[in-house]
Amino acid sequence: MTTRRNFLQAGAFSLAAMGALQAGAQENDAEEILFSSPLENADAQLWEKEGKPLRAVLIGCGWYGKSDVFRLIQCGGEKISVVGLCDVDRRVLEEAGKLVAARQVSGKVPNLYRDHREMLEREKPDVCLISTPDHWHALQMIDAVKAGCDVYVQKPIGVDVRECLAMREAVRASDRVVQVALQRRSTPVLQDAIRKYLDPHALGQVAGVTTFCDWGSRKPIRQEPVAIPEWVDFDRWAGPAPVIPYYPNIHQRRWRIRMEYGNGYLGDMAVHMLDMVRWMLKLEWPTRISSFGGTYVNRGGISNISDTQNVTWAFPDLNVTWEHRQWSDVRDPDYPWGAILYGSEGVLKANPWRYAFRPNNGRAWRKVVATTEYDRYPTDETEPGLERQIAGANRAHMWNFLARVVDRGKPNASIEQGCISSVCCILANISAALGGVTLDWDPETFTVKNCPEANALLARPYRSPWVHP
């Protein structure tokens, strides 16, 4: 057990966040408890006992692709053989091959591909990881399921609403296990918060939730287009999406700042927090969705995603809101990204690596923060680009996937739940694009009941020869 003092740095914030700051006036006097993931994990034990050798492949070998496949190797051990890697960037692909060979038990360099369809046909894998940009998820996941793979796919599951529906239906029509990379559902420190505060109803009635991301000031990226490097197949990278001028490294992590290939901060960050809240509170579909936003400060760069956006998802007897503001300081350095659940008996703040609870009777906050797992996984400490605070949660999510491959059960982040959270964020962007109109959503027909203009935006046009599923 350890303690430390925190100083809350206040910037511009919403009224909901202001209320949380006032409620947390005593938080800097609170004790901070370090949380270690349990040594015994039922999913890991099932995999260790009953797991069979699996042939695995990875589509998308960039930042999070490597992170995902390294967690697969860590969790699967000698039973996992990574036999194929696919990427349109030759340099990234070759580097990933060497790194995987150094980590997997066999020491073999996987076969390298630029076309995922060729890899699926030749390697006939049991498991496929998909860590490409959002605009490729649907076609690749459907192809992998049809090829007989169990799939671990990054979030959001699709780049438009109709893609998400097609992916859900493809999985329902198969006997495949599909885990969406919404890792909060497997995060041990958050499971601890549920056991101690939500299951016993310590918050009372939760009637308001705010979610947010304000990592701090981010200046616009100003670049001129450059020639496409000879080692990048940019046409294949764009695939069904539009081809824009090539900016340095746009095909790597910077694709997230272009709406052609993703859904901005809602598809990148909000989907995690909305899904976390829905899991914690056992929520399914909202009935109404509205959003306002735009680029208010960081103008003049190559980005075309909003730097400011507010969303309301209306559930029965509960509104869940989102706010991102990528041009000012964070409201709370402990929670630059997270959620605040307001109950009639208390308040719970949570993000992927910590939580804090305070009852409404004025007692001090109880603060819990997850530790790293360097003692168990020393390579975490030196792995480039690893989000170290949540590596344990990613392992727990991967073990949950592997255990469901064994027993054929439903994973923590099933395609159904991934579909709901992804579609809710995509619909919020549609609302904002239409000037903030409130969308009345019908999950049975997958249509907006009150806005034909919104229904016209449920599917994005595909670039030939690719065909929308």
**Which residues lie across from 209 on neighbouring strands?**
320, 341
Displacement of CA 331 from its chain's centroid (Å): 22
Residue 193's pLDDT is what?
98
Residues 38, 42, 47, 50, CA torsion sign: positive
**Which residues lie across from 325 on neighbouring strands?**
308
Task: Tally the C-alpha atoms within 13 A of residue 353's C-alpha that lie toward its C-beta.
Answer: 17
Residue 29's pLDDT is what?
55
| 184 backbone dihedrals φ, ψ, rounded to 5° | -60, -30
- Averaged pLDDT of the chain: 92
State both tokens at 4. 């430390």
Please give the biggest Cα pair distance in the chain.
64
CB atoms within 10 A of CB 317: 8
Of 329, 259, 261, nearest in space to 295 by CA: 259
**SS3 label, residue 127:** strand
- The secondary structure of 412-452 as a DSSP string is TT-HHHHHHHHHHHHHHHHHHHTTSPPEEEETTTTEESS-H
Q: Which residue ranges of the chain lie beneath pLDDT 70?
A: 1-30, 216-217
Residue 212's pLDDT is what?
96
As a whole number of angstroms, the distance between CA 312 and CA 320 comes to: 6
Displacement of CA 299 from its chain's centroid (Å): 26
CA distances from 269 to 211, 263, 377 (A): 10, 10, 26
Residue 217's pLDDT is what?
64
